[in-house]
Each structure stands twice: as structure tokens, then as C-alpha cells.
Structure 1
């Protein structure tokens, strides 16, 4: 007959028999020799850009809205440098202050790690301290800004003329607004320079996407012609060719208020948008919308001013009798040549173009 005698299990370290055991240890003794997390390094060096306070983290440069955001961003990213069970829960319990007057500022991050994967034990928590040393440097974006380099250039030109002051201010403000809106999400959305060149403007953008957005906004604002050209600038370490992109956007020669020759009559430009050019007849005030804006040019032959006296109006022939105040010669002109009724006895300055008379704007 075999008699089985019960054996009480006990902790191999402290001998306790009244506590749950795991691998022959109670919880207090087990955690003396084991840990759920530890840093892969006790001091971690992080590069901070001295120009924009961007932070070089493991996944690349991160750009923040304020220098005060740097410690918190590093604390979140530095979790990657903790060696812990994937099921462990990590909390940031404290982020130390940064003394920016120090050439190499330092601060500590305190993490609390907890897990509950050993069924025999209660949930376990540990604290891990990670020291951060900030090293000052400069990011690639700021290097590009300071050197004035750009991945994309937008050349804004007007056909056969120089941009006026109003246009220069308008389009410069438009480009800067686009850059400002995108900089918070993309640090390469900068404009390194705006140069007045060949009667137009050259905008130097940090990336192609911002330059393309500027072109799109121009196309939504005014009619124009776009060209896109590529230029090989270098090859990267893998032998891949790197190109810079130059956009050319050419706006019309004409401007609101310009007189033009349209169907052999004088018209003037009233408005230009992204679909057509609005013009108005100087004869009868009739309006037209012209989509073929390239066919519209400013007058090459300037109308001549002449002084006339309105002598009379003949209602039978629907004409005015006008006398030239220089030669005193008279001639009959159809009332249909003028968009408004002329006052008899008045002296007028008319425009003469291709043997026809027009009221000035």
C-alpha cells in the first residue's frame, strides 16, 4: 500500500508557503530578479535644429509649433527605446524641465510600465528613468532655406508686358498664404525667395506640392498658360536621378481698363477671371465674354484725341453734326456711334481710331 503525503510548495527565495508561486518564486522575490521593461540605453542623444527647433527622432525629423512641445514629443517617441513586453502598458508620468541656456540641455523622462501576464500574481508596475541629452544641429530644411535652394520654382510672367505693382503684391501675398497654411504640417512648404525677374516674379518653393498648389490657385483666379519643365540637378546615393521642377505660368497681356481691337471696333476690358475675359463695346456698351484670351492684345495704334463741337442732331438721319474745333470742318456722325446721347452745343474730346469716333471711357 502506497501512502501519498501532501507537500506544501514554498518560495525558493524566502521560503514563504502562503503566497502564490510562479517558477518557484513568490511575487516579491520573482520581481527581484526579473523586470518587465528597461531602457536600451541610459542616456539618449537627440538632435534639435537651432533654426526651427525641429527634432531628429528615430523616424526622421519632426517639426513642432513651439519649443515647449519638444520634451513631450521626445518622451512619446523615446518609448521605442524601452525594451518591454509588447503587452505591457506604458505611461509617461513625468517629463523634466529643459534648461535651454545649457549648451547641451538635459532632462529626464519617467515612465511607468505595467502588465498583468502572470496569472498567479497581481498586476505589476515598474518605473523606468530615461535621460535625454539634446544636441544642437541644423536640419536639411533649414540648410536649404539658408542656401536659397528650392526643389520647385514658379515663374510668373505676363505676356508682352511687366507685372504692375498691384499684381506683384497680389500674387506674392497669394504664394505666402499658401506656404503659411501648409508649413504647420509640412516644413518643406517654405518659400526661400521671391525675386522680380524679367518683368515677372520667380517663387522658390521648398517642395513640388506647394508649388503645384500655388499654380492651381493661380488657375482658379485668372486665365493663363502653364508649362512644366524638369532639370536634372544631381543623383542620390542609390544612383537615382534628382530633378528640380520649374513651372511657367503666363497671364494675359491685357488688363482691366485696357482698350482692345475686337472685330475691328474698340472695346475695353472690364474683368478677367479663370474662364474668360469680359469686354465691353465703346460704341453701344454691348458685352462679350472671350475664352480665347491669347487673341486679345492691347492696341498697337493709340487712338488720337480730337476736340469737337456738337452743332446739331438730325432726327431724320439719326446723326449728329460735329464741327472740329481746330480745322472748323463739319461732318455728320451716326448717333449709333455713341453709347450715350450727346448734348447739343457741348464741346467734347473724342477718340479717333481707324477713322471712327469714340467717347472716352
Structure 2
């Protein structure tokens, strides 16, 4: 037998003379026993792709989360075809000797919970082009994730209550408080925090109650509501259990107490300077004097709840005719009920060229209100 260009080595399996790869004889060279096989024997037992018989994907039937490793991950999917492709790509192994590998996949939706992944691989091994097709069934196992299980079990660690001070919160305030809470939770969910959820929202005759997943998030929601709607927060912890280490576990109720007056309320402070239309309930109560138009701000000690009587609301105002400007301090307007000409104080926000002005008739008389959105936010004067 002539060796020609061959090295004189023989295939240990079939006995054919082969060209022995030179790297086999180098110090530190490969010790793969298949490296000394001829191409025929090598490819007889060669698998380009190692594929599992089946792949199971665990998903939450409630929120669509995917279970990977030892935790649930939000993927926001209802169609799991893309997820099946990713999982298949991760679990298929291509032979280490293959080069220039390319692959494609054709998903076949068999039923709601089964997808057949028809995969075609191509590559080069020992300068020989190879291709292999494999079909892997992917099964969607629908479960309930830890988060959805806790929600279904009515789990919560804190309560956020929205209440008014000497009044009931308006429907708009309750709606906004809920929107603030949902926005806060959505922001936390966007960071991947799966402990963020609202278990239940209940509207009561006194306001709104929200069961929140953690005390920290309950506190965060309460602070956001106060930052926008004003008021103050009080905390009331209740011991509910002990953890496995013997540490006491508390459930905290955060009560948001909204201010007694809201922007647009007209109040009488009984201080001789006339009624005030409230413009802000953040920090100290702020407003405009209806008699002069000057800014009002409650003292620090009074905060958001100075001693006052509510006379009405901006929404109670009616448009009436501006009859005449008497001087720098008085104008004449038509009484919206009797249509008589009445002399009333002239605030500095009144436009003397206006044909009509909004007025509020109340137990203290008749006053011109500022136009909507024209409240002065400057310093008190």
C-alpha cells in the first residue's frame, strides 16, 4: 500500500490509511480519540447538533411572566413563539468542531400550548459541508407565579388610606390618588421589581383604601399623593406575625389626610381683610384676597388648616356684567340674582376693560373672582 501524501497512520476503527493530523503529535495537542479516525468513521457517529427531546417553558397564566432558573421574569408576552425560539436556541448545542455554523427555525403552532420548532443547521467540519434538521417540541406549562399567587391570596403589607380633614375627599381626588398609586407601582415594575403590586383598591364613604405589597411602597405612594394633593401622612403600625428568625413583622397603615380646603375653595378667615380664594394647599395654605387681589399665606403654625369658614367654590361663580369702574377700590356689577347694580370691592386682578366678570354671591356679599388660571403665584403682599 502506497502512502503517497499520507503520514502512514491508520484509522483504528476500519484500518484505512489516513493522513494523521500533525497537531495530534504536538506537545499539548488534542487528545480527542476521534481525531485519529478517518472521515468515514468519524462522520458515522457524528452529530452536528445535540437537541433535547422536548423543552418545557413555565409561564404565568395571569401576568405572562416566564420562569427561568429559580425566578420569574416579566416578559409581557401572550404569544410565546419568540420565547420558544429563544429557549430553543439556548438549549441546542452545536458540535465543537463545527465552523461557519448557520441555522434557521420554522415554528409550527400545534395548539395553544405546543409549538414544534423545525430547526435547520449547516456548518463545516473537516472541510466538509454538513447540514442537519432537528424538530424540538416546546410545551407551554401554564402556572401561577409567586407574585400573582400572593395577589390572589389577598397578601399585602401596608394600607394607604386617603381621607379629608373635616371633609370627604372629592371623587376627583380619590381618582387621582389611585392614579398616583398605580403610576408609582408601574415605575417600580419597570425596574423589574416583582414585589410591587396593589392587591386591592376599595372606595368607601370616607375616601379610598389601597392594599399595597410592601411597607416601603405604601410609604412611597402616600408621600407622592401628599406631594401632589397636599396634606399630611400619619403612620399606624400593627404587629401581625414573626418571621422565621423571630423578628417582628408589622403591617403599617399610612393615612393621607388631605387639606380641609382645596384650590378653588372660597373661605372667610374672619380677620377683617375679606374672603380668600384658595390657590394652593401645599405647605401653608395660600390664596388670593377677593377684596384686594393680594396674596394670602397662612402662618407656619396654621399650616394647611387655618381657622376659617367655607363660603363657596370657584365652580359656584357666575358671569355677570361689569357696569362701571367707580375708582381704584370699587366697581359696579349686576347682581346675578336680582340684576340690580351693586358696588363691590375692586381687586387688582380685575380687568377694567372687561364686559363681564365672574362673581360669587355668598353670605358675606358679592365678590369678583379671578379668571380661571390667572391666580398670582408670586410672594404674599
Taking structure 1 as the reference length, the TM-score comes to 0.64
2:74 pairs with one of 41, 60, 63: 63
Correspondence for 1:288? 296
The runs of 5 or more residues in structure 1 that have no matched partner are 1-5, 304-314, 320-334, 342-348
Answer yes or no: is the 8 Å Cα contact 2:169–2:206 preserved in 1.
yes
The Cα of 1:30 is off from its aligned counterpart by 2.9
Structure 1 segment 62-141 matched on structure 2, within 5 A = 62-68=73-79, 70-77=80-87, 81=91, 93-94=104-105, 96-101=107-112, 105-109=113-117, 129-141=135-147
Structure 1 segment 262-341 matched on structure 2, within 5 A: 263=271, 265-272=273-280, 274-290=282-298, 292=300, 294=303, 296-297=305-306, 299=308, 338-339=345-346
2-structure distance, mates of 1:111, 1:209: 48
The 10-residue stretch of structure 1 (138-147 or 76-85) with the greater mean CA deviation from structure 2: 76-85
Instruction: Measure, in 2, the Cα distance between the counterparts of 1:215 and 1:115.
Output: 60
- Deviation track 1:326-353 (CA, whole Å, cap 9, x = no partner) reads xxxxxxxxx9x94469xxxxxxx8855x
Say whether residues 1:175 and 2:185 are aligned partners.
no
What is the root-mean-square deviation in Å for CA atoms of aligned residues? Answer: 4.6
Number of the residue aligned with 1:332 = none
Structure 1 equivalent of residue 269 of structure 2:
261
**In structure 2, C-alpha distance between the alignment counterparts of 1:150 and 1:171, rounded to whole Å:** 18
Assess if the C-alpha contact under 8 Å between 1:278 and 1:290 holds in 2. yes
Maintained 8 Å contact 1:275/1:291: no
Aligned to 1:330: none
What pairs with 1:200-219 in structure 2 (closer than 5 Å)?
A: 200-206=207-213, 211=218, 214-219=221-226
Question: Is 1:164 the counterpart of 2:173 in the alignment?
Answer: no
Does the 8 Å contact 1:42/1:130 carry over to 2?
yes
Looking at structure 1, the residues matched to 206 and 72 of structure 2 have their Cα atoms a distance apart, in angstroms, of 38
1:149 to 141, 148, 155: 155
Report how far residue 278 of structure 1 moved: 2.2
Aligned match of 2:10: 10
1:309 corresponds to: none
Q: Hey, what's the Cα distance between the residues in 1 that align with 2:306 and 2:10?
A: 101
User: How much does 1:167 deviate?
Assistant: 1.5
Change (3 A) 1:133 1:253: same
1:163 shift after superposition: 0.4
SS at match of 2:108: coil
8 A contact 1:106–1:134 mirrored in 2 = yes
* Aligned twin of 2:203: 196
CA deviation after TM superposition for structure 1 residue 111, in Å: 5.8
2:255 to 231, 245, 248: 248
**Which residue matches 1:24?**
36
Partner of 1:108, secondary structure, is: strand
> Cα gap change, 1:58/1:163 in structure 2, threshold over 3 Å: closer, same or farther?
same
Unmatched 5+ stretches in structure 2: 1-5, 22-33, 313-326, 331-342, 349-360, 370-381
Task: Spell out, residue by residue over 1:244-285, the C-alpha distance to the aligned partner (whole angstroms, 9 max, x if none).
Answer: 444332221112223042756444233126455321224422
